[in-house]
């Protein structure tokens, strides 16, 4: 069963009377039959769709409410077991304009994952890059190559491709979080590898330390272990804790108030989660950031090549994506398709609006194809 | 009219009895209806397709015969005008497994372009990277930012995104060549920009010099103009001439015969067209190479992440792509989908088998996602 | 007055009977006179010195005792004013084999700087890269481009070339610290620029915040301000605090005790101070690290191209540099000339031996000239 | 015997009455005696020399006449044998202000090397980077790792550190050329390694091919052997032939005449010899270029951090270096010390003035310490 098969439709060409199209004649029809037979498609029938003036996304701006996601995930927790084969109790956002595929945008996967008390999600590894972000709850540890990483509210856990990983819920409550991956990108580009791991974790890895070994080695600002100097395209730091993220955002706004340039625009602080070995994005295909908009403030309007998914971490406000606008609250998820205009505004009665964001920008920057258009205020 | 629209199908989930799937029950059916309503798709129904053990391409191995392409292009030359709107008389290969889309592979566009004597293809520019390769014929000049570049048999003409370009046929014969672009990749990732240029070229640009200005500046081995030191992600050299390519390949085989390591494997010489400013691929998304297999010799069998298109430039031989095999001759085009095994063998009666190849490998190398598997002999 | 002038000696050549030298004859003597007159020197008379089998440093291994340095700096504090012209009350280590020059090694400058209560060192900037390291004391703030940076025991303060900076002592006690720069390297390579700044700091910059603006922006592990994405060859983080350094070293030893690879060798922890924008050395010419050797443990013996200066931060132990060995204690400084073997051992009665180290290694790594030889135990 | 030993002078400090200096008093004298005893030098006595406003080179602008060099080299050819120990009949330029050391500038070595008919210079390798440039003559082959490379007028032969190499004169005439190396830089920074090679070349390497294997693999514009994709910090191309260099320079001037930007400034063409694997300088420490100044034209006046050595390849003209000016002709060598103003003018009666130039600029660019000041006309 697959909702994402490409229909096996053959080449079908129709001669039509339209600007830029050759005049329909019997000769043209005969030519088109020849093209169909030889599996050929002329550019002149496709150019408007293939080569637009600027990106016109197939995807839609769309919002998913956290309470609905959580309720369904909880229900799934009760009736769908987690285990080898299905691998994860992860439920993915399916953009309404992408044909029922479990793709939040053409390149990005976003899912809510849910683990019941005492449950384990089995070990595997895959070439797709992934992260977890925790909007609420605690009690699950992700075990990456044998290193147990605590997951708590506000924490961001990146995980480069091809690392072994499993999850286990050590608490007496279920826990939900979101997974972000580049599954659609690697699906379209056909570059995925996957392997099953051990059937269960040994006791030595089913532990619940406050800090992972990766943090103890790497989470010291500006300090690099001299034993770890080799290049690493994905971050070796497996958890970015909320206490650090929160402080960094608060300091940007405090510096701004002191007249020091620190924010992206007035009232809009933002940090990017980075690979400490090179200062670049945590993952080669995924950019992950936390944004904070001050009480009553707004972001600048922005268009960017590539797509993004946001989750509201805290606060209330209003976001606009292209022609759509929504009032948002904790946990809500929404997508910004390529080149659609995005703005966010923090409610006057909220201390701030904190938005977690991930996007596919590193792909375009690596390929020198990135463009951004920021509307000055 | 578009053959490539994504069908507006909604989310459809079916509870089935299958390994790794939850047992079909009324509760599960009800959960699936909830998912459909909220635009959610669970991973456990999709994982086999999304996360295979290794890439299983949707595309097929397929061969297009040059004589058929040429005949249809010639017919199009007679009945389809070239001009603004349609922009180019380019007829694209449509992989039989990609739903009738004009995509040779999921990421690559390959088309035969055809220009009648005296005809012009109008000026435009686009963010997609492109090249032309000439398997036979001459008489057309491509004008890139005002620089006239001759096109003759064996020449390779790369052209980075966002450069203005037009073509004009200065000869008394029609001319055909192939165009390669990253149109499918930029289409899926929604990162394309396009602009129309001038309606016609001024006389000063409708000239027919033997060598372009770009060649006069850049086509000197190991020499860089000191006036041109800035970084350039796409090559500033607009033509790679056959005389150079042929000599480089011949020297590799001659060195091999002298016992010097120079070839990829015994009897298999290969050069990559490179950006002289950084030694890397000519274009950020496209790798372009010329391969020569000595009389009676074979390549090693090779699997690679990402897809490739080949055109036979000269000689006769047999190529194998996955489960398919064909005898090939001048001009024939074939595709190698991601991770499919490829081998080529030069006929005992041909001096050599020369293959032009282009692929999407730079995308994967930039993103640290490239893998290659070479079968030792 | 300068102790570092190159003597204006002319070319002087002597024909000698020695292996590898041409036989002394009147004709050779006449040839040598011709060389002298034309300012020429034949390789064959110099090759042994110029092109040795491996680096043979002109510099000596040498140790300076902290109590002697501090006593002389204190005396200088009483009788030598600090102000424009002299610029700094900095007293440099002069390697005994470098001709009385104030060079700790052929490339590195190391000095003790001393500031009396209420004193200011005037603002200037220079292309040389610099840092300060505080072995004891507090009360001085360094003001870098208007940003006040506290200096306390164990803190490391890097400062890339061409940034304005001044110091002021806000305390009631004198304070000493060490300065490290690449003055000898830029002196030999003749690449130095210098400018005087404002005569005195405005009150708004004579403040004593606990944390600098640079720390508030940058000292968050793995987090980068999205407003600060441009490349920076020198670190934007102006202070690396002891609390972080100490914790990072302690964690490495704790991880080692748990069986996790984290240290350089058993009992030897080390962190490198890095530029958070690229994960590389804080300064393009200077590598700065803190090493901790566990009670009773030793480092591996190591030879490295390029030279280093060490200061004992805490503990007691014994260090060996080439043929020399010393018992060391807090504040002692010593140099390791190029390719001389270095080892350190922590005393059995000391909790640990903490060594601050800086070297010129980034120069050689940038130029692909770095080599290291580590003696396995 | 060595002319380059550092004098073993101890620290000597004198209290003097001068601006910026502390007032001479008995206490100051006593402090200075303490400094001398402890091997310390205060910054305030040295800052003017160590930290000037801009580079003030210890080296002098100086010119060496080719006829005098050649006559002395020829004399050396008659009376000084070449062989193991002395290694090369290379006679180095000794800048008149660098203490009789065989250093053309503080970082660069330039020597005339001379080989008699039938003579061999023995094989060795060293970490210093080197090149040969041939102002006239032919008949010598340099054998690099067993690859015989012809040396003819106008050819440039780079050779990265740690490659085995020997020379042999296969002609019936003596031959001279110049060697350039980074010997002074590696001497000061103490980073040199050296090894002797085989005592004599086997017959298979004493051959005289027109083109080396390196050229046959690499001297094809924009084409890279697919068998040679690994990163190479030094160029794999061992000869840059005059025919290519000459054509590249001629084309730049021709393009300029057609109104196309191609030259550095009007009438001033220049090419840089580059590493085809990365488009950067041929050697990590040495920049090598050929400049052509059109009949009657001049370069812009230019100051640059770091030093350069020029050799006149062809033509006549006048060059100005700081306060010095000379009329120059074929073969003349001159040095441009750091930050000294340089200009060149081609004689009205010469077709052009062709200047070979090498400098240490890559060192400064790698370390982000490069600066250039060009005087607009």
C109-134 pLDDT tens trace: 999 999 999 999 999 999 999 999 99
How much of chain A, in percent, has pLDDT values that exceed 90?
Answer: 94
How far is the alpha carbon of A131 from chain B, nearest alpha carbon, in Å?
Answer: 16
The secondary structure of residue D349, as a DSSP letter, is T
Mean local confidence (pLDDT), A9-21: 88
C-alpha–C-alpha distance, residues C175 and C153, integer Å: 11
Is C101 found in the same domain as C82?
Answer: yes
Subunits next to A (3 or more Cβ pairs <8 Å) are B, C
For residue D80, tell me if it sits in a domain.
yes
Is D208 found in the same domain as D70?
Answer: yes
The shortest CB-CB distance from C272 to any of A218, A224, A254 is to A224
How far is the alpha carbon of D256 from chain C, nearest alpha carbon, in Å?
Answer: 34
Has residue C4 got a pLDDT over 80? Answer: no
Q: Give me the pLDDT at residue B8, please.
A: 59
Q: Give me the pLDDT at residue D6, please.
A: 52
Average pLDDT over chain B, rounded to an integer: 96
Full residue range of the structural domain in which residue D5 is found: 1-51
How far is the alpha carbon of B226 from chain D, nearest alpha carbon, in Å?
Answer: 5
C-alpha–C-alpha distance, residues B186 and B102, integer Å: 13
Q: Give me the pLDDT at residue C3, please.
A: 44
Q: End of a domain among B218, B233, B260?
A: B218
Which residues lie below 8 Å from residue A162, measured CB to CB, with a gap of 6+? Answer: A125, A126, A127, A193
At B206-216, the pLDDT tens digits run 999 999 999 99
For residue B16, tell me if it sits in a domain.
no
Is B202 found in the same domain as B74?
Answer: yes
Tokens read off for D356: 């070979």
Chain A residue with Cα closest to C260: A213
Is B264 found in the same domain as B180?
Answer: no
The CATH number linked to B92 is 2.60.120.10
Contact present, A275 and A290 (Cβ < 8 Å):
no
How far is the alpha carbon of B330 from chain A, nearest alpha carbon, in Å?
Answer: 18
Q: Give me the pLDDT at residue B362, please.
A: 98
C-beta atoms of A75 and B34 within 8 A: yes
By CB neighbour count within 10 A (0-12 exposed, 13-18 middle, 19+ buried), where does A85 fall? middle
pLDDT band at D376 (very low <50, low <70, confident <90, very high): confident
Q: Give me the pLDDT at residue D10, please.
A: 83
Is D256 found in the same domain as D199?
Answer: no
C-beta atoms of C95 and D45 within 8 A: no
A abuts C (3+ Cβ pairs < 8 Å): yes
Residues of chain B with Cβ-Cβ distance to D273 below 8 Å are 222-223
Interface mutation target, options B192, B337, B338, chain A, most CBs of A under 10 Å: B192
Interface mutation target, options B367, B370, B372, B373, chain A, most CBs of A under 10 Å: B367
- 3-class secondary structure, C355: strand
Has residue A19 got a pLDDT over 90? Answer: no
Q: Give me the pLDDT at residue B10, please.
A: 83
Which H/E stretch holds residue C62? strand C62-64
The shortest CB-CB distance from D53 to any of C34, C39, C193 is to C193
Residues of chain C with Cβ-Cβ distance to D53 below 8 Å are 193-195
At B82-117, the pLDDT tens digits run 999 889 999 999 999 999 999 999 999 999 999 999
Tokens read off for C79: 């009788």
For residue C234, tell me if it sits in a domain.
no
Q: End of a domain among B184, B218, B252?
A: B218
Q: Give me the pLDDT at residue C318, please.
A: 98
C-alpha–C-alpha distance, residues C364 and D186, integer Å: 10
Provide the 10 A C-beta neighbour count for residue A229: 12
How much of chain A, in percent, has pLDDT values that exceed 70?
Answer: 98
Q: Give me the pLDDT at residue A6, please.
A: 52
C-beta atoms of C28 and D79 within 8 A: yes
For residue A94, tell me if it sits in a domain.
yes
Tokens read off for A329: 């609250």
Is B66 found in the same domain as B212?
Answer: yes
Q: How many CB pairs under 8 A join A and B?
A: 341
Q: Give me the pLDDT at residue D8, please.
A: 58
Is D268 found in the same domain as D361?
Answer: yes
Residues in a beta bridge with D271:
B225, D290
Residues in a beta bridge with B148:
B143
C-beta atoms of D14 and C1 within 8 A: yes
Residues of chain C with Cβ-Cβ distance to A274 below 8 Å are 222-224, 276
Q: Give me the pLDDT at residue C280, please.
A: 98
How far is the alpha carbon of B89 from chain D, nearest alpha carbon, in Å?
Answer: 29
Contact present, D277 and D224 (Cβ < 8 Å):
yes
Is C213 found in the same domain as C100?
Answer: yes
B abuts A (3+ Cβ pairs < 8 Å): yes
> H-type helices in chain B, by residue range?
26-38, 47-50, 66-79, 183-189, 213-218, 242-257, 361-366
- Residue D262: what are its φ and ψ, rounded to 5°? -150, -25
How far is the alpha carbon of A29 from chain B, nearest alpha carbon, in Å?
Answer: 11
Is D82 found in the same domain as D182?
Answer: yes
At C190-207, the pLDDT tens digits run 999 999 999 999 999 999
Q: Are strands C165-169 and C175-181 parallel, antiparallel or unpaired?
A: unpaired
Tokens read off for C274: 């890095």
At B279-288, the pLDDT tens digits run 999 999 999 9
C-beta atoms of C274 and A224 within 8 A: yes
C-beta atoms of D233 and C368 within 8 A: yes
pLDDT band at B377 (very low <50, low <70, confident <90, very high): confident
For residue A281, tell me if it sits in a domain.
yes
Residues of chain C with Cβ-Cβ distance to D322 below 8 Å are none
Strands across the sheet containing A194-196: A147-152, A138-144, A165-169, A120-126, A194-196
At C322-363, the pLDDT tens digits run 999 999 999 999 999 999 999 999 999 999 999 999 999 999
Residues of chain A with Cβ-Cβ distance to C225 below 8 Å are 248, 252, 262, 270-272
Has residue B70 got a pLDDT over 60? Answer: yes
* B178 vs D18: which has the higher pLDDT: B178
Is D292 found in the same domain as D202?
Answer: no
C-beta atoms of A338 and B86 within 8 A: no
Is A258 found in the same domain as A213?
Answer: no
C-alpha–C-alpha distance, residues B42 and B12, integer Å: 11
Residues of chain C with Cβ-Cβ distance to A251 below 8 Å are 216-217
**DSSP assignments along A250-281, one per residue:** HHHHHHHHTT---SSBTTEEEEEEB-TTTSSB
Is B258 found in the same domain as B202?
Answer: no
Please give the tally of structural domains in chain D.
3
For residue B110, tell me if it sits in a domain.
yes
The secondary structure of residue B278, as a DSSP letter, is T
How far is the alpha carbon of D7 from chain C, nearest alpha carbon, in Å?
Answer: 6
For residue B226, tell me if it sits in a domain.
no
Q: How many CB pairs under 8 A join C and D?
A: 340
The shortest CB-CB distance from B217 to any of D218, D225, D262 is to D262
Chain A residue with Cα closest to B114: A42
**DSSP assignments along A114-157, one per residue:** EE-TT-EEEEEEESS-EEEE-SS-EEEEEEETTEEEEEETT-EE
Burial A329-368 (b: 16+ CB within 10 A, else e): bebbbbbbbbbbbbebbbbeebebbbbbbbbbbbbbbbbb
How far is the alpha carbon of D65 from chain C, nearest alpha carbon, in Å?
Answer: 9
Strands across the sheet containing D372-375: D324-328, D317-321, D342-346, D301-304, D372-375
Has residue D3 got a pLDDT over 80? Answer: no
C-beta atoms of C237 and A221 within 8 A: yes
D abuts A (3+ Cβ pairs < 8 Å): no
Subunits next to C (3 or more Cβ pairs <8 Å) are A, D
Contact present, B141 and B168 (Cβ < 8 Å):
yes
Has residue D237 got a pLDDT over 70? Answer: yes
Which residues lie below 8 Å from residue B181, measured CB to CB, with a gap of 6+? Answer: B108, B109, B128, B129, B130, B131, B286
Average pLDDT over chain A, rounded to an integer: 96
The shortest CB-CB distance from C21 to any of D86, D90, D161 is to D86
At D251-305, the pLDDT tens digits run 999 999 999 999 999 999 999 999 999 999 999 999 999 999 999 999 999 999 9
Average pLDDT over chain C, rounded to an integer: 96
How far is the alpha carbon of B243 from chain D, nearest alpha carbon, in Å?
Answer: 10
For residue B249, tell me if it sits in a domain.
yes
Mean local confidence (pLDDT), B324-346: 98
């Amino acid at each position: 069963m697959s909702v994402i098969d490409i229909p096996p439709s053959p080449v079908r060409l129709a001669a039509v009377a339209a600007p830029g199209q050759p005049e329909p004649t019997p000769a043209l029809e005969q030519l088109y039959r020849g093209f169909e037979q030889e599996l050929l498609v002329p550019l002149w029938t496709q150019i408007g769709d293939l080569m637009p003036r600027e990106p016109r996304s197939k995807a839609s701006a769309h919002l998913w409410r956290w309470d609905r996601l959580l309720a369904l995930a909880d229900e799934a927790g009760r009736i769908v077991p987690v285990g080898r084969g299905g691998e994860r109790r992860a439920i993915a956002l399916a953009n309404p304009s992408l044909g029922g595929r479990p793709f939040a945008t053409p390149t990005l996967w976003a899912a809510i994952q849910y683990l019941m008390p005492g449950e384990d999600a089995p070990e595997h590894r895959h070439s797709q890059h992934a992260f977890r972000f925790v909007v609420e709850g605690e009690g699950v540890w992700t075990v990456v190559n044998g290193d147990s990483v605590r997951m708590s509210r506000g924490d961001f856990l990146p995980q480069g491709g091809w690392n072994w990983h499993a999850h286990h819920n050590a608490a007496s409550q279920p826990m939900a979080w979101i997974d972000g991956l580049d599954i659609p990108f690697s699906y379209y580009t056909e570059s995925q590898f996957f392997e099953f791991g051990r059937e269960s974790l040994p006791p030595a890895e089913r532990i619940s330390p406050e800090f992972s070994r990766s943090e103890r080695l790497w989470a010291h600002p500006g300090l690099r272990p001299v034993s770890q100097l080799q290049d690493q395209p994905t971050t070796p730091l497996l958890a970015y804790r909320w206490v650090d993220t929160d402080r960094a955002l608060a300091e940007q706004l405090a510096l701004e108030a002191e007249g020091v340039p620190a924010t992206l625009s007035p009232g809009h602080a933002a940090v990017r989660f980075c690979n400490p070995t090179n200062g670049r994005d945590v993952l080669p295909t995924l950019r992950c950031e936390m944004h904070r908009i001050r009480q009553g403030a707004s972001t600048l309007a922005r268009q960017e090549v590539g797509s993004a998914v946001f989750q509201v971490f805290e606060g209330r406000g209003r976001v606009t994506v292209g022609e759509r606008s929504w009032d948002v609250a904790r946990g809500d998820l929404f997508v910004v398709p390529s080149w659609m205009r995005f703005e966010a505004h923090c409610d006057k009665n909220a201390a701030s609006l904190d938005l977690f964001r991930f996007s596919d920008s590193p792909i375009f920057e690596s390929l020198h194809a990135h463009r951004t258009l920021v509307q000055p205020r």
